[in-house]
Amino acid sequence: MIDVIDNKYFYLHNGAVAYLFGLLPNQQLGHLYYGEDLGELSADDLAYLTLHKNKASGTVKYSKKIKNFTLADHMQEYPTYGTSDFRESAISLEANDTYLYPDFKYDHFKITTGKSRKITVPASYGNDSENLTIYLKDTERQLELELSYSIFEESTAIVCKAKIVNYSQFEVEIKNLQSSVLDLPTANYNFLQLSGAWTKERHIITRPLTQGITKIESLRGASSHQENPFIALVDKNVTNDTGNIYASNLIYSGNFISQVEVDEWGQSRLMTGINPATFKWKLAPNQDFSTPEAVLFYTNDGFNGLMAQTHDFVTKHIIDQKWQKRDRPIVINNWEATYFDFNEEKLLKLATQAKQLGIECFVLDDGWFGKRDSDNSSLGNWTVDRKKFPQGLDHFSAQVHKLGMKFGLWFEPEMVSADTELYQEHPDWVVRHPYKRYSVGRRQYVLDFANPAVVDNIYQHMAKIIENAQVDYIKWDMNRNITEAYSPYLHSINHPQGEFFHRYIQGVYHLYAKLLTSFPDLLIEGCASGGGRFDLGILYYSPQIWPSDDSDAAERLDIMSGTLLAYPLSTFSNHVSAVPNDQVKRITSLKFRQNVACFGPLGYELDLGKLSTEEKNQIKNWIRWYKENRKLLVNGTFDQLLKFDPSQNTYAWSVSNSNKQIVGFYRKLARPNETLDQYLPLKHLNDHQKYQINSDQMVSGRVLQKFGLREPYQFNASNPDTAQISGDFQSYLYQIKTIDRKI
């Protein structure tokens, strides 16, 4: 999978993809190719791939042998600014307030196999990986740069990271150190991003690349609702199943930047990593610093090809494998059923009703601790509210377990309220600038997770509760962005405040690691005021994430469509909520809500006591069906069947395995005589196999793949007896099964 040719060219390939780079005349690294596997390369192939004529007039004299050479138009692996290349660089260093222009030249390489899963830092893993590390040295400044690459069997993903080591006797300040760079020879792509806002996360936005910089970023201390670290460069004529796409994602949850710069010759430079706008790191002698890993993806099979790659990678190389083997529990969350107005008796009644319907886990949301009757108090006071639980939380948990259900609990561990002992006793544990003016969000403050003592204190509180109440499931929330970032701890150890944001998210990961080390079977659902940290860093610890505080099924269609470009169905936590929906006040049918929420881990978040007997029976029957199909709906191969469109009114997607496929069809608003441009062409079927559609029609796999699946009959004035869907917010599920007949 990794070939080193003439100790000069480095060729990562696996039959699905190839990534090629080599030494430039100045002994730096030049990028040559990323795309479909090129097979065995000859000397003539390499000569052709490395042929280069200077487009730029200015050149740099490196030595007597290297005179007519410039980096201005070269594709590079890890560029530096200012030495004939004036594009933004992957690395910026200073020493004694002097900007450095490092000259990292190739020294040697190392190849290893396999990557173990280490819980301390989120990173890719897998026994099927081969890993290449290139060591480059700047001898004048006594610095070493290590560039690491990993390739996996049957995946087009290339995982990259950078590490810098200071072997000098002087302190160096890192201002910028990106995780990966991908230089491409053209700019004929659209830039695709997943953007939005709170309750409107990860909508698909595209714009054409032009000369200059196109970027997204977060400066909020989290990957954010507004942007996501995933970006893609897509062919302008891309379809669901055809067209080249290059994409990148970052295994990181803090401030990030993902950008593409197009130069005057139409070359594109994609970079992703920690956002340098809020970053400064003191690198003392004999110390090192490593970036988070970035992942590059390539496909020539359009959006479905991209999702096949991203979903497979996240499933096999990010999420803990045990969660692929265990069924995700169907939950009832009390939040929209009760908000803060509850006691043990009320909750136990809800849990009992849930159990009767087949629900498997009761999740107690916000309001169980301190004097938390609103979101204005008690964060950091993790003592049980005895007014709500007179016999303690462990007693309530025991009652839930006695019903045969798992018990889940809400925490917001990174925050503190002013009315708590924690806040009063440790004012130096709060993120707050020493200025008199400071900002407050939601009447709560952010704890300084850059300080290890803070993380250890919160761990002790959480671990005691988890153990005593036998908690099986945690919903980990985070409802406030970081303002006036300042760490008293960093000030006390004489480190720059530019280290804060990175050290903060490292503290979050450290708390995750401590909890999962002590409670390895604990299922943690990530949440950040909804989908404010839906990223690979959180997924490394939390196999599923609450995608948005907007639980409206119609809104979730757009949120899911965008999110699924980068993250598999198994990562979603989908709840059926009450109507009118609390976020948008929309009324949709129970059928529509369940038909959307069933794709991925299923949950409910409504007052079951307010439902009619008919609605309860509908949920009970639905849950029975869901359990029969859970493995397929959570872990099946996902495909979009209709084209992405910002003004989309109709949606269709499928999940499939070797003998079954479930197709979901949705239309938001009814329009007279609206039909699809084509029937729904299916994939992953056997041309010579017979299939049964909804225990009714039988048809060959060949016809379903080439002709397609007919859309459900929509109501109009002339067909009231035959219509399968009607009104606004339509939904219809197809179940397609193999039968014991071949043709």
Binding residues for substrate: 198, 365-366, 442, 475-479, 527, 549
Concerning whether 327 is annotated as a catalytic residue, the answer is: no
DSSP 43-68: HHHHHHHH------S--B--SSS--S
**DSSP-assigned letter for residue 510:** H
Contact 382, 461 (CB under 8 A): yes
Phi and psi (nearest 5°) for 598? -70, -15
For residue 512, how many other CB atoms are within 10 A of its CB?
23
One-character DSSP codes across 331-378: EEE-HHHHTT---HHHHHHHHHHHHHHT--EEEE-S-SBTT-SSTTS-
291-324 burial: b if 16+ Cβ within 10 Å, else e: bbbbbbbbbebbbbbbbbbbbbbbbbbbbbeebe
Q: Give the annotated binding-site residues.
A: 198, 365-366, 442, 475-479, 527, 549
CA distance 53 to 56: 9
Question: Which helix (H) or strand (E) covers residue 505, if one does?
Answer: helix 500-518
Which residue among the candidates 549, 550, 552, 639 is catalytic per the annotation?
A: 549
Contact yes or no for 76/95 (Cβ under 8 A): no
- Is the four-CA dihedral 235, 241, 242, 247 of positive or negative sign? positive
Work out the angle between the directed axes of helices 553-563 and 590-597 (0-180°, nearest 10). Answer: 20
> Has 582 been annotated as catalytic?
no
Instruction: Provide the β-strand partners of residue 272.
Output: 180, 258
Sequence-separated (6 or more) residues with CB below 8 Å from residue 436: none
Say if residues 131 and 150 touch (Cβ distance below 8 Å): yes
Alpha-carbon distance 203 to 209, whole Å?
19
- Classified as helix, coil or strand, 310 is helix
List 301, 472, 477, 535, catalytic entry: 477
d(CA 51, CA 53): 7
As given in the structure block, the two tokens for residue 269 are 């430079």
Catalogue the active-site residues: 477, 549
